[in-house]
Amino acid sequence: MAVALDSPVADFQAQATSGQQVQLSALQGQQLVIYFYPKDSTPGCTTEGQGFRDHYPAFQAANTLVFGVSRDSLKSHENFKCKQEFPFELISDKDEALCQLFDVIKLKKLYGKEYLGVDRSTFLLDKHGVLRKEWRGVKVPGHVEAVLAAAQDLHNA
C-alpha cells in the first residue's frame, strides 16, 4: 500500500552511497526530500540532480535532507555522485521496496515497447516522517525550486 498524503511514512532501511544505511526513524527532527529518478547519468536525471546539488545549501538552511533514489547499483550511484559532486546520498533500491512504498513504478513506453519504469517523483516529509507534499510525473525545469519553496514553507510553518 503506497503512502498517502498527510500520513506517516512506514519506517524503512536502505543502502546508500558513502557506505551509509539510511533509516527513516533515525532521521526524525529533520525534513526529508526523497526524489525518485529513472537512471543514473542520463540527461534529465543529471539535470535534476544538479538542481538539488546547486540548491543544497538552501535545503540545509531549511533543515531538509535530500536523498535521490533509483534502481541503479551502489557502484553506479557512487560514480554518478562523484562525477556530479552531489553533496547528498543516493539510495540504491534494487529490490524496489522504496519504489513500491511510494508507488513510483509505472508502465512506460519507449520506441513502441512497454516496460515498467520509475516515474520521476519527489516527496517532502516533515520532521516527524509525515508525507506533506508530493510531485508525480515531474518535469525537471523549475522543479527543484518548487520543492525548495515547499521545504522552506514547511520549515517556517
Residues annotated as catalytic (active site), given as ranges? 45
CA dist 29 and 36 (Å) reads 22
**Helices vs strands, H then E, count in the chain:** 5, 9
Run of H or E residues at 147: helix 143-156
CA dist 44 and 12 (Å) reads 27
Give the end-to-end CA distance of the chain in Å, rounded to a whole number. 29
